[in-house]
Amino acid sequence: MKFRFTDEQSMLQETASRFLEEHSSSAVVRAAAVTDGLDRALWQRVVAELGWQAIPIPEADGGLDLGPVELAIVFEQTGRRLTPTPHFASALSALAVRTVPDGEARQRLLAQLAEGAICSLAHTDARPHWGTEGVAIEAQATPEGWSLSGAARFVGAGHAADELLVVARSTASGKLMLCAVPADSEGVTVTHQATLDQSRSMANLYCEGVHVGHSAVLCDDWEDSLAVVLNMGRILVAAEQVGCAQAALDMSVAYTGERIQFGRTIASFQAIKHKAADMMLKTESARSLLYYAACTADAWLRGAATAQALEEAAHMVASSAGDAAFFVAGTAIQLHGGVGITEEYDVQLYFKRARALESYLGRPDESRAVIAGLLLDAPSVTGGQGHAA
Amino acid sequence: MKFRFTDEQSMLQETASRFLEEHSSSAVVRAAAVTDGLDRALWQRVVAELGWQAIPIPEADGGLDLGPVELAIVFEQTGRRLTPTPHFASALSALAVRTVPDGEARQRLLAQLAEGAICSLAHTDARPHWGTEGVAIEAQATPEGWSLSGAARFVGAGHAADELLVVARSTASGKLMLCAVPADSEGVTVTHQATLDQSRSMANLYCEGVHVGHSAVLCDDWEDSLAVVLNMGRILVAAEQVGCAQAALDMSVAYTGERIQFGRTIASFQAIKHKAADMMLKTESARSLLYYAACTADAWLRGAATAQALEEAAHMVASSAGDAAFFVAGTAIQLHGGVGITEEYDVQLYFKRARALESYLGRPDESRAVIAGLLLDAPSVTGGQGHAA
Amino acid sequence: MQLDFNAADEQFRAEVADWLQANLQGEFAAIRGRGGPGDEHHFVAERKVWEQRLAEGGWTCIGWPTAWGGRGATIEQQVIFHEEYARAGGPGRLGHIGETLTGPTLLAFGSDAQKQRFLPGIRAGQEFWCQGYSEPSAGSDLSNIKTRAQWDEDAGKWRFYGQKVWTSLAHESDFIFVLARTNPELSGHRGLGFFLLPLAQDGIEIRPITQLTGTAEFNEVFFDGACCDAEDLVGEVDDGWRVAMGLLGFERGVSTLGQQMLFQVELDEIVRIARANGAAREPALRQRIAEAHIGLRTLRYNSLRMLSGADDGSLSREAMIYKLAWSNWHRNLGKLAMDVLGPDAEVVEGAPYELNRLQSLFLFTRADTIYGGTNQIQRNLIAERALGMPREPRGNQ
Amino acid sequence: MQLDFNAADEQFRAEVADWLQANLQGEFAAIRGRGGPGDEHHFVAERKVWEQRLAEGGWTCIGWPTAWGGRGATIEQQVIFHEEYARAGGPGRLGHIGETLTGPTLLAFGSDAQKQRFLPGIRAGQEFWCQGYSEPSAGSDLSNIKTRAQWDEDAGKWRFYGQKVWTSLAHESDFIFVLARTNPELSGHRGLGFFLLPLAQDGIEIRPITQLTGTAEFNEVFFDGACCDAEDLVGEVDDGWRVAMGLLGFERGVSTLGQQMLFQVELDEIVRIARANGAAREPALRQRIAEAHIGLRTLRYNSLRMLSGADDGSLSREAMIYKLAWSNWHRNLGKLAMDVLGPDAEVVEGAPYELNRLQSLFLFTRADTIYGGTNQIQRNLIAERALGMPREPRGNQ
């Protein structure tokens, strides 16, 4: 039992931290925020120099064959810097493709992703919610394959994607299908969507009778896998949230240590100190659950954990990290006082990011409702877990 | 618009405060707590010298014909002193009897109550909840009247009552009946029930084929009136909660002002000061709603407010005062440190009382659920209330 | 204990409502409900004309004594005016700094000449004011003012050097009252003066401050040799703190019910959306919507207690908690609005960053717990003034 | 990153579990699960015998070096022992003060004579210890100790005058270690000594402190001339603070997973009741039950991080938040238990005031955020030590 980073993992963390400090500065983030939230050159650099895009891809497919723990390490750092790359879309796509049976399309996509191609998972219209009932693209059987029509929102970096992974509901079977759709396919419209949090890149997808050949159907019964992929996504989001919270805490400690009122640094006021202590408590608590959840996701990929264990871990950390990041970033604005609400100071960027992430893929209270279901409606999972970490 | 006490009301408050400071000391409360939570001599003195039992009773029936505002003023003071009298049972009974049609029984009961007789409303078994679905006494029609069987819990001062006001469900009509049952009736067993909060006097009632004559049936369709009476009860409970919170705040400010650690009174630590500020914020907020709710109850008695307005007011203040008293008393223990958890210091008595009151007649979140129903399921009540106070 | 207003007051209410109904028409229809918090920079020209219309109707400065053109309105009447004004969707008042801060200050501390010079312009809705208190290093610690007022013997004028901040609508105002250090030897509350300056002069530069919403309601005001005459000093030299603090005492909370009317409009919209998009069926949101409703009603009865309080105007306990109560309630409402909107909360329709009303509410309300005394300052005040607990010690940095 | 224990550790786990299974039988069956927090005063005699049985099995002091009868167990093994002990319902350890505080202190600071004299008795489960730190005026401010240790030249002994408080099981212990002021000239951390005293002597009076539960687990210990020999001073005269603080460093959190096992039992009972009485259908309670579950799992992974931390044992960030985290989690659990019980929560079955397990939990957990460093002290420590923010100034009263 060594519940801490290996030397390789620590090195990955340091490399990421150093690289992003230099290449994902406030200026870089702000420049991307006023366009489409993407810095393509930075992504190219990440791809070429760091290879983060290859982390979750098997060696056989040209990847590094690393796991969710390594992804969590990187996303914690990109969350800390609000890094404007399509990394989340890339990682989620890779995890999605890994769930489908082997085949030409799977191999092609994983190989592309390993080389840094941008793919985006388009799974929901999110009206009114994030669940699969929000899937609003229908697949009609045609002689040559399928015809997709409908819309999806919050498609990460979708307008910059080379290929879209579209989740559609078959009008025939009523099941969810996962289809590989080149972005330039006829009938596909993808447009960037400005968001309250300007620093994440989101797009809207409209499909009007988009033709999809049989070979492009990656899976024709993907509902359970989608649930798994979204739980993986929740863990990566949580990693961003932990990084976001850490950054907001760090800048608050720094600012209050310099700001002088009543002849004292405001950091010397117990009210400020205790807020900071609570910020750290929540950040570290979320971090502990994050590492557990990442290990559980890793175990799932190795077939050593059930989908329910992954579900539990993902929603536990979604609840914890979501609340933590919003509380910490919101409190950070409070501790900054007047300047905290100015456009000039970065703390507001973290606050907006925390707000966006807290509601992405479901609110913390919705995650707690899932946990309650596992505890209270199904056979208990609390008991007998004494030493099963 | 003068939303403050009249001179008479201020005088009532001062008299109550002075009287209770002298006659409802910690010693008196503790002496009652180790017996059955009642100080009968004190009640006799209240009846003889102050006449609080007559406040809600019409003049024609020998009462003072005062209203819920006066009751709230007194209960805020008795809550502040944890006064061990059957006053709550007496007031609730008077409000209950006032709802029934005029008649011999009504007149007799009001006259008795005006003279200080102890009557107790026995309305629920509270399993699992406080609502009318918890009524567990059945009324079987007999040639001479009715036969009552079943149990009720949390009957205020029931074991000391001269007469019980029993709520029973008619097996014939399925409706709720209110029956006047002398405590010494055959088949009636009333026993004192020890509680976690030792300072309120509660009893269990068991009825085994208790005969009730037609003349003793005060009302044979009492469900709506019970709802009104319980809402009145919630407002009186809220008054006790406000007094309880005020007392816990006052003793915390006093203690932290004397306790010295690190060479300073602990009251000089901002963490302590800010806790105290939050305690006051919640106490004053609950007090504002309390006065509104008391005015609304008064208006209802005058036919100037709807039952829904009373329901809203009662549940608003139940939510606010319930949370406030528990938070304030719990924080008071924290501010007392080690001595706060000793039997010797009074703060624990207030904490136990706050716990008991918070759950009595429903938890704050249950009251919020009622409010949500009014807002979201029925036509909105939020709008157009601009100047209707 | 009496919750309702009496018949005379209700008649006054009807009078106000009718006048607003009759006048918020035609050229003014477009500014109904505009210019409130977060929207202050819109329709400024139209709203200045509206101030004059109000003045003609005798609805500016109604709390002032009749001698200066007011109505000598009672607390109740002032409350009613604010409520009806908000209910009618009256536009954000450009004249409120002059009416509620400058005016009462001059009435209490000003010379006859100052009253003669400035009160009529405010009453007529012709001259607009902004306030020069906060500075970069004097926020929570207001007494730490660095802006200097130097007496220029040759010019026979006071000259000003320094910077004020968080000055709303400075660029739309004619005058600013400035708290400045008259005696560099003294620090803290001592050695300050309270001055009245015209903004249209050399040596004053106004820079807008862009906020997290992308909009700019506040300004920085830089002074570099700007001046005023000797008679534009209010009260004694070095006695400005007393004047400035007296000014804070004038707010008896008459506008709080009007403010709550705007809150109610926001809450009603959230309830409407919740019913429409299904959020009203989610238990966790139902609890929070109920809390918001209860909280707003609490603010109302808290205000009514406050307004019915001691006639000497002494600050009561419920008055001391009001800022902490409303600002946190409002901030929570902003968060609730986002959660009720659900995924739609993130969607910004207008490019580049044109937020809808609830998105603005969410972001702006983060400022509520900061300006006008942060949560932390408010809790200090409650603990120290209401509960008599020890004061926070000053440092020597 | 590795969550599971390795094979060797799992085998050790099996060994512990088997031994406990085999030995918590017969005469010891009655004390399964007894003597925990809030129950410490029950079955004391039986639990002392149990300590000796543990000693015979070699299960006392497993973290001690083999030279002193320990097993030199690794952190992992100690964690596993605590977990399995809790899982098996092992009774509250009467020996834990001696094993975890006195022992490590003597091993680090004690003389050979002191080790020879005291370690074997602890290891054998024959001699029991209690701790003499807190005083009425030295709670959060531990250095403010007033108990005096005076050197009695004639008797050649140290004599003690003063009072200790919050001493658990003093009336059941053989020895007490006492932090006392050896130099009345000095104050605060300086001029203190760390002494080992037998409790069975004149000049010591032990008085129980009744708590809000009506039970008494803690005591006041009064010293009026009680004494110990010169060689019962640990470390140098006036150097007791270093010894006392070193002692606090020994707790590497090996017992936290065991503690969490007890928490899990409490949570499981609450879940069971909620499913039985319908509380599990109430959305507000479902949220809180889920929070409790998430919170407990958080404590677990926080502990695993802590236990996997820097090998030098330096206190990591996650270690600094642990007390604040578990105590508030546990206090909330107590409240949740009451709300899940509903109206039944008020009913006390046993007269006069015999509380059921969840009622005791509710009341006792109010102490969790107070003893061993209040919430306020913990937040100071986090802010000052983990975040490097300024220290709270001392006063001079």
* pLDDT, tens digit (0-9, with 9 covering 90-100), for D259-302: 999 999 999 999 999 999 999 999 999 999 999 999 999 999 99
Report the gap between the CA of A154 and the closest CA in chain C (Å): 9
CB B171 within 8 A of CB B140: yes
Residue of D nearest to A250 (CA): D387
Tens of pLDDT, residue by residue over C270-313, are 999 999 999 999 999 999 999 999 999 999 999 999 888 765 55
Distance CA B194, CA B296 (A): 34
Confidence check on the interface: ipTM exceeds 0.85, yes or no: yes
Is the minimum CB–CB distance between D140 and chain A shorter than 8 Å?
A: no
Average pLDDT of chain C, as a whole number: 93
DSSP annotation string for B131-160: SGGG--EEEEEETTEEEEEEEEEEEETGGG
Contact A368 D387 (CB under 8 A): no
pLDDT of residue D28: 96
C346 a catalytic residue? no
Contacts of C386 (CB under 8 A, 6+ apart): B277, B280, C317, C320, C321
Which residues from B are below 8 Å from A269, CB to CB?
Answer: 270
The residue type found at B103 is G
Q: What is the DSSP letter of C239?
A: B
Least confident of A234-248, B169-183, B375-389, D34-48: B375-389
Partner-chain residue, chosen from C261, C308, C382, that has the shortest CB–CB distance to B4: C308
In the structure encoding, which two tokens stand for residue A216, read together? 């492009």
Instruction: Give yes or no for a contact between C139 and A337, defined as CB atoms under 8 angstroms apart.
Output: yes
- pLDDT, one tens digit per residue, over D200-214 is 999 999 999 999 999
Name the catalytic one among C10, C205, C251, C354: C251
In this structure, what are the phi and psi dihedrals at residue B234, rounded to the nearest 5 degrees?
Answer: -60, -35
Q: Please name the residue of chain D whose CA is at the shortest distance from the CA of residue A388.
A: D4
Q: Is C376 on the interface with A (CB under 8 A)?
A: yes
Is a pLDDT exceeding 50 seen at residue B382? no
Interface of B with C in 69-88 (CB under 8 A): 69
Alpha helices in chain D, H assignment, sequence order: 7-23, 44-57, 75-87, 96-97, 103-109, 112-123, 240-249, 256-277, 283-307, 317-341, 357-368, 375-381
For chain A, percent of residues with pLDDT exceeding 90: 93
Q: Which of B285, B294, B383 sits opposite C302 (nearest CB)?
A: B285
CA dihedral D118, D120, D122, D128 (to 10 degrees): -60
pLDDT in tens, B358-371: 999 999 999 999 99
Candidates B261, B266, B348, B363: best to mutate against D (most CBs of D within 10 A) is: B261
Average pLDDT score over residue span D22-34: 94
Q: What pLDDT is stored for residue D249 in this prediction?
A: 62
B383: pLDDT confidence band, cut at 50, 70 and 90?
very low
Residue B33 distance to chain D (closest CA, Å):
10
Any idea which residues of D carry the catalytic annotation? 251
Q: Which chains touch A (3 or more CB pairs under 8 A)?
A: B, C, D
Residue of A nearest to D9 (CA): A1
Q: Which residues pair with B152 in a beta bridge?
A: B205
Q: Average pLDDT in the D335-363 region?
A: 93
Q: What is the pLDDT of residue B386?
A: 39
Contact flag A153-C343 (C-beta cutoff 8 Å): yes
Chain D, 98 to 117: residues with Cβ < 8 Å from chain B are none
Q: Which of C387, C391, C394 to mutate to test the interface with B (most CBs of B within 10 A)?
A: C387
**Burial bucket for residue A254 (CB in 10 Å: 0-12, 13-18, 19+):** exposed
Contacts of D396 in chain B (CB under 8 A): 263
Length of chain D (residues) = 397
- Cβ distance A194 to C352 less than 8 Å, yes or no, reads yes
Q: Is there a contact between C352 and A34 if contact means CB atoms under 8 Å apart?
A: yes
Chain C neighbours, 3+ Cβ pairs < 8 A:
A, B, D
Contact D390 A285 (CB under 8 A): no
**DSSP assignment, residue B50?**
I
Summarize pLDDT for D236-255 with one digit per residue, the tens.
998 999 998 876 665 667 88
Asked if residue D102 lies in contact with residue D227, where contact means CB atoms within 8 angstroms, the answer is no
pLDDT score of C122 more than 90: yes
Please tell me the predicted confidence (pLDDT) of residue B388: 39
Cβ-nearest to C370 among A198, A341, A369: A341
Mean pLDDT over residues B45-65, rounded? Answer: 97
* Angle of the D317-341 helix axis to the B347-359 helix axis, nearest 10: 60
Q: What's the rounded mean pLDDT across residues C158-176?
A: 95
pLDDT of residue D196 exceeding 50, the answer is yes
Q: Which helix (H) or strand (E) holds D219?
A: strand D218-229
Q: How far is C128 from chain A (nearest CA, A)?
A: 24
pLDDT > 50? residue B12:
yes
List all residues 6 or more positions away from D112 whose beta carbon is below 8 Å from its beta carbon: none
pLDDT in tens, A62-79: 999 999 999 999 999 999
Per residue in C19-58, pLDDT (tens digit) is 999 999 999 999 999 988 778 888 999 999 999 999 999 9
pTM value > 0.80: yes
DSSP for residue D147? -
Best mutation target among D143, D370, D375, D381 (most B Cβ atoms within 10 Å) is: D370
**Is residue D195 scored above 80 in pLDDT?**
yes
Whether residue B1 is predicted with pLDDT greater than 80 in this model: the reply is no
In percent, how much of chain B has pLDDT > 70?
Answer: 97
Beta bridge partners of B261: B264
- D371–B261 C-beta distance less than 8 A: no
Q: Cβ(A371)–Cβ(A315) under 8 Å? A: yes
As a whole number of angstroms, the distance between CA B205 and CA B122 comes to: 8
Q: Provide the 10 A C-beta neighbour count for residue A66.
A: 21
CA distance B148 to B128: 21
For residue D352, say if its preceding peptide bond is cis, omega within 30 degrees of 0: yes
Q: What is the mean pLDDT of chain D?
A: 93
Residues 6+ apart with CB under 8 A from A289: A238, A313, A316, A317, A320, A321, D294, D297, D298, D301
What whole-number distance in Å separates Cα of residue A247 and Cα of residue A17?
A: 12
> Is pLDDT at D160 greater than 60 in this prediction?
yes
For residue range B139-167, list pLDDT tens digits in order. Answer: 999 999 999 999 999 999 999 999 999 99
Residue C10 binned pLDDT confidence (cut-offs 50, 70, 90): very high
* Chain B interface test: which of A270, A273, A274, A278 (most B C-beta within 10 Å): A270
Q: Give how far B369 is from chain D: nearest CA, Å.
A: 9
Q: How far is C175 from chain B (nearest CA, A)?
A: 35
CB of C16 less than 8 A from some CB of B: no
For position B135, what pLDDT does the model report?
A: 94
Q: How confident is the model at residue C2 (pLDDT cuts 50, 70, 90)?
A: confident
Q: In chain A, which stretches have pLDDT less than 70? A: 379-389
Q: Which residue has the higher pLDDT, D327 or C171?
A: D327
In the block, residue with structure tokens 């029934």: B100
